[in-house]
Amino acid sequence: MFPTCSCWVYDDEEEWFRSIFVNSKKEEAIQNQYEFFVQRMGGPPLYSQRKGHLALIGRHRPFPLTHQAAERWLHHMEKALENTPDIDADSKVKMMNFFRHTAFFLVAGDELKNQKQQAPCKYKNGGCKSAAP
């Protein structure tokens, strides 16, 4: 059982956060998250079979991923974990660590996007583009 939920799409308290998801389809967003987490946490590569490389920074490119947005996203994921009793306490800590790490990895990626991309990639074959996760 994975803590995929659409609560962030319907954030009743923070309109600014909900507006980030204004063009998202709830069912699709849940499916994407579900397949991504199954794959990223060691299960079968459901996400890549359907959509290719994980490329999280690139896929979040259209959205404003500020520190504040990351904290709000993490708040929702924490709530989702709390509401998922099948996951043991140790796994919850590991998952929250992974979420926090990745959320701020995305914030850093978003900040780079705003730097007008003046400096071209120094690697011959565009090595920067293939960054994980």
Distance CA 17, CA 69 (A): 7
CA dihedral 78, 7, 98, 36 (to 10 degrees): 150
Q: Which is nearer to ligand HEM, 112 or 121 (CB)?
A: 112
Tell me how far, at minimum, the Cβ of 4 lies from ligand HEM, in Å. 10
Specify burial of residue 115 (Cβ count, 10 A radius: 0-12, 13-18, 19+).
Answer: exposed
The dihedral built from the CA positions of residue 82, 98, 56 and 118, taken in this order, carries a sign that is: positive
Binding site for ligand HEM (CB under 6 A): 20-21, 24, 28-29, 32-33, 36, 51, 56, 59-60, 63, 65, 69-70, 73, 99, 102-103, 106
Which of residues 28 and 88 has its CB atom nearest to ligand HEM in the complex?
Answer: 28
Q: Compute the least distance from the CB of residue 92 to ligand HEM, in Å.
A: 15
Nearer to ligand HEM, 58 or 127 (CB): 58
